[in-house]
Structure 1
Amino acid sequence: MKEYSTDILIAGGGPGGIFTSKALMANKITDFKVVCDEPDVVCRCNIPYGIGKKFLNDINDAVTSHHTFLPNFDEVGIVGRIERIDHKNKTAYGKLLKEDDEFTVSYDKLILATGGQASLPPIKGAINPDYDGSNPVGEVFYYRGESYDKAALRDNVVVVRSVADARRIDKICGTGLTVAVIGTGLVGIEIIDNLIIRGNKVVVVEILPHLVSFLDADMASHLEEVLKKDGAEIHLGQPCTEVGDGYIVVGDKKINADLVVIGAGVTSDTRLAKEIGCEIGKTGGVKVDKNWRTSVPDVFAIGDLIEIKDAVFESPVQFQLLPNVMMQGALIAKQFKGVELEGPLAVGSGMSHAGGLFWGFAGYSEEMAKARGLGVMAEKIELFTAEHASPYARKAWYKMVVAAEDKGTVKKGQIIGFQAITEGKHLGDLMPRWADIIGQKETVWDLPKHNWIHQPLVGNPPSNAYILTFFNLFSGKLSE
């Protein structure tokens, strides 16, 4: 038994735990321990690209040593898994991953950064009915609100979350297999694209009427078009209801599938939080205040684990996205130096790539807003990413969603959503700007205050002339 003692214990070594550790070090706080339940640091966004060898040569390129992020990891890090916490006596108990030993950590303050685990929809046959609990792999998924070890899955089913999952797909999928992919979120779309690159036939199943819930149907149609062109067989509007040896069932169709890859979202891993009595919100995440304190004294929580306040409707939501947790870790570190800073209200945003298209979103789609009962105006425009005669010009589609009425905390004319798709132009310079605009509750009338919307089109990023087009369209409507 190894025994440790520290002022601050960080439970979880994913992005939340690692970025919080880096922030503590930057603030000259060294009396902490971070318990990492994976042998390396994983950027989950990169996992699919290792499968297809698209941007990465190997899945290992998605993995980074703990020492790269924390040069003093040998002093502050523990590669292990916390199995229970006795918060009354402020002691955590766990098992080491690289050694056949157990450990305890006594602490004063606790930061829960246990993140989320992959979710399995209610699919008959996905779980092996004969699994007896033996030979667990130590990674879990959630099914009907309960956690299961991944060893319980059927042999031809992978619920994607970890590098181990990606390595398994990579090993199986050389070329010529038929792979069913269930779910078309950020990771699901990337896996589809990369499996096609490897030469596999890909069957896509999405319960919604179009791909990618973050986008509206008129934007998602561009992704659907290129994936079909690349050979994907796409089934929309119906769930996968059954998995068997060599097949899946969608509606009344039995479809061949050698492997089934499920990327159907993430469920907050609240097991430790519940054990120590943290209040759980209505979204299923841990409730925290504006400074990420839980309902239990001396316990903080960040990242995929928590529910936070949405910038548009100011209601509890869960946005399991990397930028949120990076900011939370930085501000928690400041608190331990006596400086309390509030972070912004949360905006769901992200970007990805598939079939030669870069796509991204920030805030609410038109469909999402209407589902919340808000009247909206939406405009979609098609332009080029540069002067159309330029050799760098690529086709682009942009869509903006604006509130058409005052409702609750939302003002008429408030910009609540933005979507973009481009042929060959990365959106890394664009989506964070729109996330800020939405997060600050700006309206159409605020757009001219930004210098970057006035720049001429030629020789500049695509975040230019189309903004004035949107301003003219929406300001005209709002003035009617």
Structure 2
Amino acid sequence: MSEHVVIVGAVALGPKAACRFKRLRPGAQVTMIDRDRIVSYGGCGIPYFISGDVSDLKELRTTSFKLVRDEAFFHGCKDIDVLTRTEAVRVDRKRKVVATRNLDTGVETEIPYDKLVLATGASPRKLDIPGVDLPGVHAVANLHDAEAVRGLISTGKAGRAVVVGSGFIGLEVAEALAEMWGLEVAVVELMDHLLPRNLSPLLARMASHHLQEKGVELYFGEKVLSIEGDGKAERVVTDKRVLEADLVVLAAGVVPNGELARDAGLAVSPRGGVQVDETMRTSDPDIFSGGDCVEIKNVITGGSMHLPLGSMANRQGRVIGTNLAGGDAVFPGAVGSFAVKLFERNIAGAGLTPEQAKQAGFDAVSALVIQFDRAHFFPGKELMSLEVTVDRATRKVLGIQGFGPSGDALVGRVGAVAALMQKGCRAEDLSVLEYPYSPPFSSAMDIVNTVGTVAENMLAGLNQGISAEQFEAYFEGKQDSCFFLDCREPDNAGPYLTRHPGKWHNIPQGQLRDRLDEIPRDKTVVLICNTGIRSYEGQITLEQAGFKDVLNVHGGMAGLKQSGLDPLKQEEA
């Protein structure tokens, strides 16, 4: 008996599920339908088409062997029928049919199914403000948006851009416009720091400082009230300022397209995401769903989350394709891994930030390490920052985020920890993680091992310290009650002694035991070195000598500089 699988949505998950199923059941019939004329493309590559890194829009639609994934490709190479410009109007679960409408002709048709897949994706979050429909205002949700934005800037019709939202897409587009096209770019974010759902304030500050160094203006904690202009976008009005703009990019997040599922009586979350189990089945066993329209299990919290990433869609698509053919594949959920390139720096992470961990009810501690990404004696070494969040009670690793110049090296570390987090890991697992070692690639004691040991020490009540922002507050507001001690060698400390006479002090870490009488015991001793290693050794020395109030600046001077808080530069500014 012939078997018919109908798939609504043909961008990422739909094609993956269809192709996997057809390999397992080559005799079955598969029909994909999509509202757009363009199907099966890499949407995550849109910012890189805008930047020019991807020269031709067609490259986002081709296979690795240069075939365009259009209707003819799917019919000829995959034996899959594709109906473009076709909208799924409703699903009749009792009769097992999908009612469709051709968007060009208006003709309505019913398509029967044995199994159904909903891959309806997500839509840009709409701002309910005046001016969003003006020419020059664009989202970047599909290839048509990408072509429109690049066409506007490549013809010289835009000199200044405002990006609304500082999530993944917003930041990638901001970089593309500023670096490749030389536009003046401003980013407006409603929350108090960039990537608010993915980064801690500490690492967000490092990333913000780098963006500002590259000329990108950042405005946090501001609400966009309107977009104004005479026949086209000319300015963005927030609750705090007016920003001139020839181009406005709306990147304030996305919402899952769960309406079709909800109207069919399927279980949908209050946020609009289709609810599925580990097999990617909906509340109807004959209907599967995945990709940007679903909510999946958060492996760390046990709750649900919406994670619209092409990588998620492809992995879920394989699971669905297997189960359509009678298999028992499982998608266990995710820890939420991500990576973003920002000019010469990169951000990557997985799991919860310290703030998110506390909001989820964990008693969390965060450990920051700044260390070279390869052997300290090897040419080309670069400083990498890693912050890990750990639950005090269980010692479970809840999250990891990183910042640094070597993208592949950073993603490799975060990816290794994310894989461990999928199965559940503790701080000590990071300390002994077997990471491939060779001086051109890593240190004998890799930064992942180091951040694990720092977390272990903090859980044991050792290595008590403060962050870069806390140091700034201490340095500016607690001068009389603190003794700021630089544990580096005199040539490093010299400029700070000159800039802050009487406030900045210097005793190299190796001389501390012999110079204890120079350090007051009635003040909080704040120790600092380049990255926090020597100052931690100094903390042990002072506490062994009976000092009661000693703090180590985590990340050291490197953390202050990357955050734009270098006391030397701040004073010069």
TM-score band by shorter chain is 0.7 to 0.9
- Paired with 2:29 and 2:397, the residues of 1 have a C-alpha distance of 44
Q: CA 1:126–1:160 in structure 2 vs 1: closer, same or farther (change >3 Å)? A: farther
Q: What's 2:344 paired with?
A: 356
The one-letter code of the counterpart of 1:79 is T
The one-letter code of the counterpart of 1:404 is R
Q: CA 1:60–1:164 in structure 2 vs 1: closer, same or farther (change >3 Å)? A: same
The one-letter code of the counterpart of 2:455 is F
- Paired with 2:167 and 2:331, the residues of 1 have a C-alpha distance of 26
Give aligned pairs, total: 441
Q: What's 2:150 paired with?
A: 170
Q: What's 2:450 paired with?
A: 469
Q: What's 1:11 paired with?
A: 8
- Deviation track 1:285-328 (CA, whole Å, cap 9, x = no partner) reads 11122222212341111111111221111012211122322222
Q: What's 1:23 paired with?
A: 20
Judge which range, 412-421 or 438-447, deviates more: 438-447
- Paired with 1:61 and 1:105, the residues of 2 have a C-alpha distance of 32
Contact 1:223 1:355 in 2 (8 A): no
Give the deviation of 1:221 after TM superposition.
1.9
- Paired with 1:322 and 1:70, the residues of 2 have a C-alpha distance of 23
Q: Which sections of structure 2, spanning at least 5 residues, go unmatched?
A: 63-67, 462-573
Judge which range, 156-165 or 463-472, deviates more: 463-472
Of 392, 413, 416 in structure 2, the residue corresponding to residue 404 of structure 1 is 392
Say whether residues 1:52 and 2:35 are aligned partners: no
Q: Which sections of structure 1, spanning at least 5 residues, go unmatched?
A: 128-152, 406-411
Query: Could you say which structure has the higher strand fraction?
Result: 1
Contact 2:375 2:444 in 1 (8 A): no
- Paired with 1:97 and 1:430, the residues of 2 have a C-alpha distance of 47
- Paired with 1:57 and 1:159, the residues of 2 have a C-alpha distance of 20
Of 77, 87, 90 in structure 1, the residue corresponding to residue 96 of structure 2 is 90
Q: CA 1:266–1:6 in structure 2 vs 1: closer, same or farther (change >3 Å)? A: farther
Of 222, 230, 234 in structure 1, the residue corresponding to residue 206 of structure 2 is 222
Say whether residues 1:80 and 2:85 are aligned partners: yes
- Deviation track 1:179-229 (CA, whole Å, cap 9, x = no partner) reads 100011111110000000201111110111111121112112222122212
Q: CA 1:168–1:404 in structure 2 vs 1: closer, same or farther (change >3 Å)? A: same
Of 422, 426, 430 in structure 2, the residue corresponding to residue 447 of structure 1 is 430
Identity of aligned residues (%): 24
Q: CA 1:413–1:385 in structure 2 vs 1: closer, same or farther (change >3 Å)? A: same
The one-letter code of the counterpart of 1:346 is A
- Deviation track 1:128-184 (CA, whole Å, cap 9, x = no partner) reads xxxxxxxxxxxxxxxxxxxxxxxxx22231122111111111111235611100011
Give the deviation of 1:28 after TM superposition.
3.4
Q: CA 1:203–1:158 in structure 2 vs 1: closer, same or farther (change >3 Å)? A: same
Give the deviation of 1:93 after TM superposition.
2.9
Q: CA 1:439–1:121 in structure 2 vs 1: closer, same or farther (change >3 Å)? A: farther
Say whether residues 1:413 and 2:395 are aligned partners: yes
Q: What's 1:134 paired with?
A: none
Q: What's 2:518 paired with?
A: none
Say whether residues 1:36 and 2:34 are aligned partners: yes
CA RMSD of aligned residues (A): 2.4
- Paired with 1:396 and 1:417, the residues of 2 have a C-alpha distance of 17
TM-score by structure 1 length?
0.85
Report SS of the residue matched to 2:412.
coil
- Deviation track 1:379-406 (CA, whole Å, cap 9, x = no partner) reads 111122222343332221111111123x
Q: What's 1:107 paired with?
A: 113
Say whether residues 1:332 and 2:320 are aligned partners: yes
Q: CA 1:317–1:70 in structure 2 vs 1: closer, same or farther (change >3 Å)? A: farther
Correspondence list, 1:97-246, <5 A: 103-122=109-128, 124-127=129-132, 153-174=133-154, 175=156, 177-196=159-178, 197-213=180-196, 214-245=198-229, 246=234
Give the deviation of 1:330 after TM superposition.
1.5
Give the deviation of 1:447 after TM superposition.
3.1
Give the deviation of 1:242 after TM superposition.
1.4
- Paired with 1:247 and 1:35, the residues of 2 have a C-alpha distance of 39
Query: Could you say which structure has the higher helix fraction?
Result: 2
The one-letter code of the counterpart of 1:270 is G
Judge which range, 289-298 or 242-251, deviates more: 289-298
Q: What's 2:332 paired with?
A: 344
TM-score by structure 2 length?
0.72
Q: CA 1:41–1:215 in structure 2 vs 1: closer, same or farther (change >3 Å)? A: same
Give the deviation of 1:272 after TM superposition.
1.3
Give the deviation of 1:268 after TM superposition.
0.6
- Paired with 2:147 and 2:49, the residues of 1 have a C-alpha distance of 9
Q: CA 1:394–1:447 in structure 2 vs 1: closer, same or farther (change >3 Å)? A: closer
Q: What's 2:371 paired with?
A: 383
Contact 1:82 1:92 in 2 (8 A): no
Q: Which has the higher Rg, Structure 1 or Structure 2?
A: 2
- Paired with 2:324 and 2:339, the residues of 1 have a C-alpha distance of 33
